[in-house]
C-alpha cells in the first residue's frame, strides 16, 4: 500500500509541476490541463519507472496472498 501511495503522490506532484510550468509559459484553460497531463504522463513513464515497478511488485504480492487465502478457504469447504 505504501508503494502505491508514494507512486501516486509522485505522479500528482509531477502533474502539478508541469501545470505550473505551462501556466508560467502562457498556456491556459483546457490546453493547459491537456498538455500538463500529456507531459507528466510521458515524464512519469521514464522518471518513475523504479517506483512503478515497486508498486506492481507490492500489488502482485497482495493479490497472490489473497488468492492463496481464497484457495485455502475453498479447500477447507471441500473437506467438509
CB atoms within 10 A of CB 47: 14
pTM over 0.85: no
| pLDDT value at residue 78 | 76
Count H helices and E strands in the chain, helices first. Answer: 3, 0
Task: For residues 16 and 8, give the distance between their C-alpha atoms in angstroms, rounded to a whole number.
Answer: 12
CB atoms within 10 A of CB 18: 23
pLDDT single digits (tens) 44-76: 999 999 999 999 999 999 999 999 999 988 888
Mean pLDDT (whole number) for 1-6 = 93
Task: For residues 57 and 51, give the distance between their C-alpha atoms in angstroms, rounded to a whole number.
Answer: 10
Amino acid at each position: 500500500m505504501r508503494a502505491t501511495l508514494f507512486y501516486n503522490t509522485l505522479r500528482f506532484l509531477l502533474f502539478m509541476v508541469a501545470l505550473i510550468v505551462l501556466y508560467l509559459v502562457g498556456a491556459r484553460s483546457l490546453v493547459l490541463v491537456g498538455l500538463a497531463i500529456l507531459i507528466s504522463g510521458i515524464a512519469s513513464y521514464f522518471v518513475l519507472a523504479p517506483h512503478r515497478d515497486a508498486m506492481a511488485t507490492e500489488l502482485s504480492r497482495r493479490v497472490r496472498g489473497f488468492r492463496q487465502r481464497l484457495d485455502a478457504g475453498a479447500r477447507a469447504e471441500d473437506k467438509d
